[in-house]
A and B are shown apart, each in its own frame.
Chain A
Amino acid sequence: MQLTFVDWLIMLLYFVFVLGIGFALKRYMKTSKDFFQAGRALPAWICGLAFISANLGAQEVIGMGASGAKYGLETCHFYGIGAIPAMVFVGIFMMPFYYGSKARSVPEFLRLRFDEKTRALNACSFAVMTVFSSGISMYAMARLIQALHVFDGLFRALGWAPEGIFTFSIILSAIIVLLYIFLGGLTSAIYNEVLQFFLIIAGFLPLVLLGLKNLGGWHGLSAAVSAVDPRMMHEWRGVLHPSTNPMGIEIIGIGMGLGFVLGSGYWCTDFLVIQTAMASHNMDSARRVPLIAAVPKMIFPFLVILPGLIAIALPTPRTTTTVTQQNGAIIHETNVVPEIAAEGRGIVPAKINPVTGKAMLDASGKPLLDYDMATPNMLLHYFPTGILGLGLTALLASFMSGMAGNVTAFNTVFTYDLYQSYIHKGAPDRHYLAVGRWATVGGILLSICTAYAAISFNNIMDTLQLVFSFVNAPLFATFLLGMFWKRTTGHAAFTGLITGTVAAMLHHGLTLPMEAVPGIHGGWLAVLHRYPSDMAQNFYGAIWAFSSNFIITIIISLFTKPKPESELVGLVRSLTPKPETSHLTWWKRPEALGIAVLLGAVALNIFFA
């Protein structure tokens, strides 16, 4: 890759501003509330954009592009079904309890509603997951920087060995994220997430526009993608049976598994996103935060999925020889395309076996494609130097803000829910502020360790994500019952959560997607059932986890003693006065916004149908 000083200048400018915002915010960080909760003083639009940006890390930008290239528009289900309804639900129904309970974190809400052990379980698993997630983000970024040869020129100029690029990338991102969170806490993280939100648009919108123009607009794209696989241009067609759509799933798996269990589990209970809403300045804003976030969330399929579709639809580069005659001399001009590109499809390269140097083949002899390179290759394909720097900056920013969200969630949960609760109670506020800062340092050091562990153990990322899915899948049932059924007890919630996780593990151990061998993909106990795809296995695993948690929690609640109703005011719907919205003009009320958002989501689904 040819980067010139303009690209470096733009990247440097971003780093300067990111750190500058951290330094500018330092003087406002006087209490632990300022540091961990942004003083609960931010406007709704800022928190709303940070709400989706916290999730807009590498997995989203690279992963959705990859999924777009692999499955096509069916990927939009992750938005229309997986995110939007859950975001509306959390804003209208759940935020009054999160914000109104004055809990400082999601685990703390669980202690108020249930008991100490449920909080401890949630806080511990959450703290571990955030550290690992931020490590995975770091690792993925360093790998991408290596693959795109971003720093190669710089290293050559400085005479450093190219082996150091991985370490350099990790240290650089760690230092930047550490500095701005250490200085400005959650405010800094939120501000940078908003900055990154706009950077992603600035970097990806011109990419999509150029790609669409190249292929001849929407119709051109449609025709070119249909030539690859006609099912890819439809979100809903063939969704009644797994064999007739690219993802190999069907409507019940999507609706129940993705929409109701996984989507809600993430958007309604994950402190990583909830923390941004809890930082807003009053109840009305806190409820509006997820709804405001849902609006750009609806537009994001165009920005992150379309690059993948365009990448797969472009003509595959081939080695060509053009013969021209000039002044009687015959000139053979050969344009050699490396095998990795020629064996791919569109500009999505083939996966290369690092040992043999040959393209890796699937069971039917076709080359496996490296879908994760779809979006990065689009940047290289369309962007001349200058705007290329902007695109790369957007990519780096998305990795770093994904890390930052995890780190701020970690330091809050560690300080409030673990340190203050179990290690050192009743210290002055100043002490917890310092602990929070050092927890940031510790969290980032642990993330670095995770990133390095990922190099040595190839499967560590897949394994970790699998374990996270076991822990996360049952969560939503606990919150749903806790907030909407006053009879739910702490013992029941705790047992239900563990049952749900065990159910998810058992389900994974007993089932296997088609064409997979028992092991990391499932079936490590016995193979009782085969799913048409890993996506289907994932969705149904979530349904099993949710249902077993739901049923066990209800049964045990009926046999154990509930908390007295006076202690549940503000935590359970039937015992809490409805949030007052009559002082707002009708279109500013969360309910009105929620309906508008849902109508928009329906329109979008019809458009992509």
Chain B
Amino acid sequence: MQLDLRTPMGLMFSITGAILVAWGLKTNGDAIYAKSLGINANLWWGIVLLIFGLIMFFLGERRQHKLEEEPPPESDGTERRRGHGH
């Protein structure tokens, strides 16, 4: 499969994280955080998601580049191994 899931997934979590961070900064100290025990849940969890998303994104990108540099078709490896097993 040519599309590494980590790239779009990383992108999605990075954007979500960034949105939460921005929103958390804008609403910092608001009354809405009474619910979350006075913790700015948006800001902190946004940072966590942003870091997770970026790591995923770069892992996916790195693999994509590797595949483009040396294109050994994956299915060949599969067939060889399967033959080995039986």
> Which A residues lie at the B interface, using CB under 8 A?
6, 9-10, 13-14, 17, 20-21, 24-25, 28, 38-42, 46, 100, 187, 191, 194-195, 198, 202, 206, 210, 213-214, 281-284, 381-387, 390, 570, 577, 579-580, 583
> A583's closest neighbor in chain B, by CB?
B84
In contact, A385 and B16 (Cβ under 8 angstroms): no
Nearest Cβ distance between residue B49 and chain A, in whole angstroms? 6
Residues 10 to 24 of chain B near chain A (Cβ within 8 Å) = 11-13, 15-16, 19-20, 23-24
Q: Which among B32, B36, B49 has the greatest number of chain A C-beta atoms within 10 A?
A: B36
Tell which of B20, B52, B77 touches A386, judged by Cβ atoms closer than 8 Å: B20
List 25 contacting pairs A-B, 8 Å CB cutoff, sorted by A.
A10-B20, A17-B9, A21-B5, A41-B75, A195-B12, A198-B52, A202-B13, A202-B45, A206-B41, A210-B37, A213-B39, A281-B78, A282-B82, A283-B81, A283-B85, A381-B35, A382-B35, A382-B36, A384-B33, A386-B27, A387-B36, A387-B42, A390-B16, A583-B81, A583-B84
Q: A13-B15, A281-B75 are in contact. List 8 more A-B contacts (CB 8 A).
A: A9-B19, A17-B8, A28-B2, A202-B52, A384-B27, A384-B33, A386-B23, A386-B42
In contact, B5 and A194 (Cβ under 8 angstroms): yes
Residues in chain A near residue B27, CB distance under 8 A? 384, 386
Give me the 5 closest cross-chain CB pairs, A-B, nearest first.
A386-B42, A384-B32, A17-B12, A386-B23, A282-B81
Residues in chain B near residue A210, CB distance under 8 A? 36-37, 39, 41
Q: Using a Cβ cutoff of 8 Å, how many contacts connect chains A and B?
A: 112
The SS class assigned to the A binding surface is helix
> A46's closest neighbor in chain B, by CB?
B5
Residues in chain A near residue B1, CB distance under 8 A? 28, 38-39, 41-42, 187
Are A13 and B8 CB-contacts (below 8 A) given A210-B39, A214-B37? no
Q: How many residues of B contact A (CB 8 A)?
A: 37
Residues in chain A near residue B68, CB distance under 8 A? none
Tell which of A9, A41, A194, A214 touches B78, judged by Cβ atoms closer than 8 Å: A41
Residues in chain B near residue A41, CB distance under 8 A? 1, 74-75, 78
Q: How far is the CA of A577 from the CA of B81 in the complex (A)?
A: 15
The SS class assigned to the B binding surface is helix
In contact, B37 and A14 (Cβ under 8 angstroms): no
> Which B residues lie at the A interface, using CB under 8 A?
1-3, 5, 8-9, 11-13, 15-16, 19-20, 23-24, 27, 30, 32-33, 35-37, 39, 41-42, 45, 49, 52, 74-75, 77-78, 81-82, 84-86
Nearest Cβ distance between residue B39 and chain A, in whole angstroms? 7
Q: How far is the CA of A568 from the CA of B24 in the complex (A)?
A: 62
In contact, B85 and A579 (Cβ under 8 angstroms): yes
Residues in chain B near residue A579, CB distance under 8 A? 85
Residues in chain A near residue B78, CB distance under 8 A? 40-41, 281-282
Q: How far is the CA of A577 from the CA of B83 in the complex (A)?
A: 12
> A580's closest neighbor in chain B, by CB?
B85
In contact, A383 and B8 (Cβ under 8 angstroms): no
Tell which of B39, B49, B82 touches A283, judged by Cβ atoms closer than 8 Å: B82
In contact, A385 and B8 (Cβ under 8 angstroms): no
Q: How far is the CA of A20 from the CA of B9 in the complex (A)?
A: 11
Residues in chain A near residue B12, CB distance under 8 A? 13-14, 17, 195
In contact, A387 and B82 (Cβ under 8 angstroms): no
Q: How far is the CA of A577 from the CA of B85 in the complex (A)?
A: 8
Residues in chain A near residue B36, CB distance under 8 A? 210, 382-384, 387
Q: How far is the CA of A385 from the CA of B35 in the complex (A)?
A: 10
Are A385 and B45 CB-contacts (below 8 A) given A41-B75, A42-B1, A46-B5? no
> B17's closest neighbor in chain A, by CB?
A202
Q: How far is the CA of A100 from the CA of B45 in the complex (A)?
A: 44
Residues in chain A near residue B41, CB distance under 8 A? 206, 210, 382-384, 386-387
In contact, B35 and A206 (Cβ under 8 angstroms): no
Residues in chain A near residue B30, CB distance under 8 A? 384
Are A198 and B9 CB-contacts (below 8 A) given A206-B41, A282-B82? yes
